[in-house]
Amino acid sequence: MTEDHWTPPAVMLAVDLVILTLREWRLHVLLIERGIEPYQGAWALPGGFLQHAEEDLTAAAHRELAEEASLHAETLHLEHLGVYGAPGRDPRGRVVSIAYLAIAPGLPEPIAGTDAAGARWHRVDRVLSGDLRLAFDHRRIVEDGVERARTKLEHSALATAFCGPTFTIADLQRVYEAVWGIPLDPRNFYRKVQKTKGFIVPAGPERKVTAGRPARLFRAGPRKVLYPPMVRPVDPADAKESEE
């Protein structure tokens, strides 16, 4: 590191949160409508500056979530997603933003807080297609978050986090289909999930009644990292010899 008598330049440190949830079996991301410049009127990820020099980064993230969207999800597990610190990404000066990713089952409708003109869940496909005006480099951050979620679904038991405390295998399948954006075969999915030890465990004799035969209910199992992993069907383009 560097000499003690030299003082490093001040950099503004911010946190940004990509909060993903499932609503009507579609992937949604929480966005805040900015009430102030810059980017007034555009949609942005919840987040903001560190409040004091000793504030923990994840503590700041939780605080912003409460302030901007009145979501008091203290138990929400935040995972480091990346750092976005290109000079010039924020017109106010040098801002380095630490992005976190969180995933949760049906969170409540958010309530806009200070500085926020609105707080809403937006369909991820709409956000990524470019319909919405996003502030800063937040579209890129959302892209990275979604891609991370897709990968995590393969190797971790994350999918159960999108469900309630108990769920059927078909529910779980719909999570995979929504996040991956592709249909899956229910029968193969059924056995695949069962073969992955510790992924899900039966939740008593209860059944969930739907249109047809009632389905067994399950709970998230003890395993956090899946073996064997759930593999995403291969994009046929990848099987060919293509560049990059």
Quote the distance between the C-alpha of residue 199 and its chain's center: 20
d(CA 99, CA 52): 18
Query: Is 39 a residue that touches DNA (CB under 7 A)?
Result: no
Binding window for a second copy (CB under 8 A); candidates: 22-30, 41-49, 119-127, 180-188: 41-49
User: What secondary structure letter does DSSP report for 109?
Assistant: P
Answer yes or no whether residue 185 interacts with DNA by CB under 7 A.
yes
CA separation for the pair 125, 4 (Å, rounded): 49
Q: What part of residues 157-196 is at the interface with a second copy (CB under 8 A)? A: none
The one of DNA, a second copy, none whose footprint includes residue 207, by CB under 5 to 8 A per kind, is: DNA
Instruction: State how far the alpha carbon of 40 is from the alpha carbons of 31, 61, 89, 93, 118, in Å.
Output: 13, 21, 15, 17, 11
CA dist 178 → 102, 150, 173 (Å): 16, 10, 9
Mask: binding to DNA, 144-173, rule CB under 7 A, as x and -? ------------------------xxx---
Binding mask 60-99 for a second copy (x = CB under 8 A): --------------------x-xx-xxx----xxx-x-x-
Q: Under the rule (CB under 7 A), what is the footprint of DNA?
A: 168-170, 185-188, 190-192, 194-195, 207, 209-216, 228, 231, 233-234
